[in-house]
Amino acid sequence: MKNLTTKLTIAAAVIAVAAGAASAQTMKADVPFAFRTVNGTLEAGTYTVSIDRSAGTVHIRQAHGNESAFLLPTSPIGANKESEAKLVFSCGAGPCTLVQVWTGPDRPAYQFRRPKQDRNEEASLVAIPLQRGAR
Q: 60-115 pLDDT, tens per residue?
A: 999 888 888 999 888 777 777 777 899 999 998 878 999 999 988 888 788 998 76
Distance between CA atoms of 59 and 48, rounded to whole angstroms? 8
**Phi, psi for 15 (deg, rounded to 5):** -65, -40
Intra-chain end-to-end CA distance of the chain, in Å: 42
**Phi, psi for 9 (deg, rounded to 5):** -65, -45
Tell me the sheet residues that pair with 78: none
**Residue 103 near residue 124, CB atoms below 8 Å:** no
Distance between CA atoms of 43 and 62, rounded to whole angstroms? 9
Q: Which tens digit of pLDDT belongs to each residue from 104-113?
A: 888 878 899 8
